[in-house]
Amino acid sequence: MDRLLELTHLAEQSHFWFRGFRAFMQPEIARAVAGRAAPVLLDCGCGTGANVSWLRDYGEAYGFDLTWNGLVLGRRMGRTRLARASIADIPFGSGRVDVATSFDVFQCLPDPIEDRAIREMWRVLKPGGHLLLNVAALDVLRGGHATLSEEVRRYTPARLRSMVEGGGFTIDRLTFVNASLFPIMLPVRVAQRWWSGASAVPAGEFDITVPPAPVNAALSGLLRVEAAALRLANMPIGSSLMVHARKL
């Protein structure tokens, strides 16, 4: 996991996947804080704190992570309001947060922690507060990156819905994202599972390495188009699932 955080730290500003992720999530965050005075946002499992940086465009944002390495890298970048803590024991009082987020964390949580984490996020939210999650989707897309990120599971819409509603939330929106990458990722991930030949790049690191500039620009543009489409309709397939839910 420390190696993944190091690679993420290098890639998160320019890699096409992270650019697309922000384009997908930012309209949902804007909707979540609309009409709220001085909203408080909390990123649970913040890694290096990169997402906390842009969440501050929407209110007073904090983040925490269990891994020291990510927090150290974030603080080197001048990121503050980051703490070390577990998502199973969130260091916030009950009913203090307007928007709770967790991005690509839940697929790495053991089953007992998964259940505890969603209930902890419900606890810290105010009544009417919003939950936003992004998780890895579909076992068929499991590849080398799953080993690097220590994935426990990948979600289906039904599994994600069951977890979120079981934690007490009402779902506003549940959709696949990265639909435009799916035709590219599927053969790559299948090949990763079946091919264990020698490579200059260790298993999983290929996925998180910034590709050559023309490729990165083309894929970034593809995801921007998808983000525009996502404002109008849900995606039927994709490599990730995004859920926007509320605590009533």
pLDDT score recorded for residue 196: 54
pLDDT score recorded for residue 154: 96
CATH 3.40.50.10600 fits 2-246, yes or no: no
Name which of 58-72, 143-157, 221-235 the model is least confident about. Answer: 143-157
- Tokens coding 169: 């939330």
pLDDT score recorded for residue 8: 62
pLDDT score recorded for residue 6: 59
H helix intervals, the chain = 2-11, 16-33, 50-55, 68-76, 111-124, 144-148, 157-166, 182-194, 205-208, 213-230
Average pLDDT over residues 221-246: 98
pLDDT score recorded for residue 143: 76
Q: Which amino acid is at 50?
A: A
Ramachandran category for residue 78: left, alpha or beta (phi over 0 → left; psi -120 to 50 → alpha): left
How far does CA 230 lie from the centroid of its chain?
17
Record the pTM. Answer: 0.91
Rounded to the nearest integer, the mean pLDDT of the chain is: 90
Put the strands of the sheet holding 97-103 in their side by side order: 82-84, 60-65, 40-44, 97-103, 125-136, 240-246, 170-177
248 C-beta neighbours (distance < 10 Å), count: 9
More confident residue, 27 or 11: 27
> Using 50, 70 and 90 to split pLDDT, how confident is the model at 73?
confident
SS3 category, 126 = strand
Say if residues 64 and 217 touch (Cβ distance below 8 Å): no
pLDDT score recorded for residue 17: 94
Give the domain ranges of the chain. 2-246
